[in-house]
Amino acid sequence: MKFKWLFWGVGVLALLAICIPAYNWNHNNIARLRNSGKTQMAPIIMVPGSSATKNRFDSLISELGHEAPKNHSVLKMVVKKDGKITTTGTIQHNDNQPFIVVSFENNKDGKVNIDKQAVWLSSAFKQLVRTYHFNHFSALGHSNGGLILTLFLEKYLKKTPSVRIDKLMTIASPYNMEEKSTTYKTAMFKELYTYLEGLPESLVMYSIAGTENYNGDGTVPYNSVNFAKYIFQDQIKNFTEITVTGANTAHSDLPQNKQIVSLIGQYILREDFSRKMGQMQRK
């Protein structure tokens, strides 16, 4: 009897010794195959806020160019009111992470225009995919540019099912518009909340707020930026809030703020130049 139990015990251990490594190999192999389907190109799509032009991120791109180990080419797109798109700049053939700025001829503020701009962004995005054949990307939005990107992800990215977003970073994006209250919800927030189930589950998102004073960055209330958590938490893979204080934290200064430039390099570009940024700040 004891021999029989010993026989079965050895058999179970042998089976586990085979099955566990096999499971781990299969799991890792699936992940490898999934990742191997990614295109080498994974652009960073940048969307400026209201009243900003295609040149809004020039200072940011310049700062990144000084400090980043790699050079990134820049393509700028302007979507006209009639839907036509003009482009300037080029993407180098060996650049797998180019910066693509998408701006709008109608760059005015307000919910109605933000809704239109999200549709125009969708048109520009489809043209980019047709031209450059990438199947994943990351995005950066300043101010209302973050709202435009969020609406695009909720409502329009699914129209290009072969493409997914890796990471999103928003800078001082007013998810509850100019409202300072922690309880009152604007029409803009309600729309974003209504469509939140359209957000990609695999998304990694960083929401950055600047605090020139205790209430906000001088333009966007801190509480409005903070409303992002009600949209993204529990809907995506990872949501992180970051608050930047100190010098150059006024709303218009934030995209080229050195702390934020370092965060973009670390979390969006995945390039290690934080040490150089720290040395530069201490000079």
pLDDT, tens digit (0-9, with 9 covering 90-100), for 167-220: 999 999 999 999 999 999 999 999 999 999 999 999 999 999 998 877 888 899
The answer to whether the CB of 130 falls within 8 A of the CB of 77 is no
Specify the 3-state DSSP secondary structure of 85: strand
Model confidence at 279, pLDDT cuts 50, 70, 90, reads very low
pTM: 0.83
Show the domains of the chain with their CATH numbers: 42-282 (3.40.50.1820)
Q: How distant, in Å, are the alpha carbons of 1, 56, 115, 204, 219 from that of 167?
A: 60, 21, 22, 5, 26
161 or 9, which is more confident: 161
Answer whether 111's CB lies under 8 Å from 188's CB.
yes
CA distances from 130 to 8, 123, 125, 162, 256 (A): 60, 11, 9, 12, 31
Higher pLDDT residue, 148 or 218? 148
Distance of CA 67 to the CA centre of its chain: 21
> Residue 48 has what pLDDT?
97
Mean per-residue pLDDT for 139-163?
A: 97
- Residue 214 and residue 176 in contact, taking contact as beta carbons nearer than 8 Å: no
d(CA 232, CA 283): 38
Q: Is residue 86 scored above 60 in pLDDT? A: yes
The proportion of the chain whose per-residue pLDDT surpasses 90, expressed as a percent, equals: 73
Q: What is the pLDDT of residue 78?
A: 98
Percent of the chain with pLDDT over 70: 82
Q: How would DSSP label each residue in 136-193? A: EEEEEEETHHHHHHHHHHHHTGGGSTT-EEEEEEEES--TTTT---SS---HHHHHHH
132 pLDDT above the threshold of 60 = yes
At 17, is the pLDDT very low, low, confident or very high (cuts 50, 70, 90)? Answer: low
Per-residue pLDDT at 6: 55
Confidence of residue 35 (pLDDT cuts 50, 70, 90): low
Is residue 70 scored above 80 in pLDDT? no
Q: How far apart are CA 22 and CA 83, in angstroms?
A: 53
* Mean pLDDT across 220-247: 95
- The count of C-alpha atoms lying within 13 angstroms of the C-alpha of 144, restricted to the half-sphere facing its C-beta, is 24
Q: How far is CA 27 from CA 13, 32, 245, in A?
A: 21, 9, 42
